């Protein structure tokens, strides 16, 4: 059910790769809620074809950019403003990639060139987008910016690897830039810390299915899906959340407040297969 929450608003969605992508779901919901959008990803992602068909189906312009390249980011903002005939109201940063994760490099045996690339693609790109938007004065007052993150920024999650540092930096950028953009332009910046989700990036984390099962058992409301994440993003882009800024907002069914649950204890007990394991 749509509520027209984004009627008249214009925004850019960075990071939709395929139907599983969180950004894909956000793009769909934004359109459903009355927004006009443009989309961006790498040229390679576009050539893979799925975003192309999304854009054709919804009549949405696509502007290619490597998120580490400031000039290309500038073009995305300029082209989007040209397309809309004015400023935007929101953008979504939904981008993450680690070659160390992809190559299964252990945390105590990292490749440092890859590490820098992880930080550049997954965190500094957020600062680059915000800085470009600020210099171009691309976002209307009371606009809203959201980036996606994961709880491994706060707590250690085996195998999340150098992405943990990237997410910690990303969240910090939201706070630091959130102050400046809020003070000067009333623009809010938040991160959403999402449950593990089966997407292309998600599947890159080894043992993802077990992590999802554990997380689901630990969360009183269960894991949040990509669609539910998109709903939450829409509220943050809408005028209903005008005074929420510089926050890391957990969207995880309660996982972040849990220590141990009955459902998680059940599988641990089974694993120990012992007599003294009580519920
Ligand atoms: N899937 C999960 O479990 C999960 C949980 C919490 C947070 N997140 C975060 O959500 C965001 C979106 O990931 P997703 O799960 O939808 O996976 P996804 O693989 O669908 O999206 C990742 C996107 O990053 C883009 N990307 C990679 N390198 C890029 C570059 N150099 N320039 C521009 N774009 C680039 C990819 O093309 C892709 O569209 C990421 O920030 C991810 O860390 C994911």
pLDDT per position as a tens digit, 148-205: 999 999 999 988 999 999 999 999 999 999 999 999 999 999 999 999 999 988 888 8
DSSP state of 1: -
- Residue 201 in contact with ligand 1 by CB distance below 6 A: yes
- Residue 170 in contact with ligand 1 by CB distance below 6 A: no
Q: Which pLDDT tens digit goes with each residue over 200-249?
A: 888 888 889 999 999 999 999 999 999 999 999 999 999 999 999 999 99
Find tokens 């009549």 and name the residue: 59
Whether residue 275 has pLDDT greater than 70? no
- Residue 11 in contact with ligand 1 by CB distance below 6 A: no
Q: In Å, what is the CA distance from 141 to each residue of 56, 213, 242? A: 30, 42, 10
Residue 12 and residue 65: Cα distance in Å, rounded?
12
Q: In Å, what is the CA distance from 164 to each residue of 98, 110, 138, 169, 256? A: 10, 13, 30, 9, 15
Residue 210 — φ and ψ, nearest 5°? -70, -40
Residue 114 and residue 161: Cα distance in Å, rounded?
12
Taking the centre of ligand 1 as the mean of its atom positions, its distance from the CA of residue 199, in whole angstroms, is 8
Name the β-bridge partners of 14.
40, 93
**Which pLDDT belongs to residue 279?**
45
Taking the centre of ligand 1 as the mean of its atom positions, its distance from the CA of residue 248, in whole angstroms, is 17
- The pTM of this model reads 0.97
* DSSP codes of every residue in 211-248: HHHHHHHH-TT-PPPHHHHHHHHHHHHSGGGTT--S-E
């Amino acid at each position: 059910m749509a509520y027209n929450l984004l009627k008249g608003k214009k925004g850019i969605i960075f990071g939709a790769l395929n139907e599983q992508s969180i950004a894909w779901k956000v793009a769909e919901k934004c359109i459903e809620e009355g927004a006009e959008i443009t989309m961006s990803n790498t040229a390679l992602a576009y050539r893979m074809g799925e975003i192309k068909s999304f854009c054709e189906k919804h009549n949405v312009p696509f502007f290619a950019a490597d998120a580490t390249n400031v000039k290309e980011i500038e073009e995305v903002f300029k082209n989007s403003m040209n397309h809309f005939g004015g400023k935007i109201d929101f953008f979504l940063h939904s981008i993450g990639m680690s070659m160390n994760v992809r190559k299964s490099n252990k945390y105590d045996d990292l490749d440092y060139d890859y590490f820098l690339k992880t930080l550049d693609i997954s965190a500094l790109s957020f600062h680059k987008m915000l800085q470009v938007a600020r210099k171009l004065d691309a976002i209307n007052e009371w606009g809203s910016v959201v980036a996606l993150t994961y709880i491994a920024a706060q707590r250690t999650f085996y195998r999340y690897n150098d992405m943990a540092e990237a997410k910690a930096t990303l969240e910090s950028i939201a706070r630091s830039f959130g102050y400046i953009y809020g003070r000067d332009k009333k623009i809010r910046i938040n991160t959403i810390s999402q449950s593990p989700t089966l997407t292309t990036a998600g599947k890159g984390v080894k043992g993802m299915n077990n992590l999802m099962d554990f997380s689901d058992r630990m969360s009183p409301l269960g894991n949040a899906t990509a669609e539910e994440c998109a709903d939450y993003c829409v509220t943050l882009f809408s005028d209903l959340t005008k005074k929420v800024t510089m926050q890391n907002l957990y969207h995880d069914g309660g996982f972040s407040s849990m220590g141990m649950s009955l459902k998680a204890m059940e599988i641990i007990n089974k694993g120990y297969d012992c007599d003294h394991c009580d519920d």
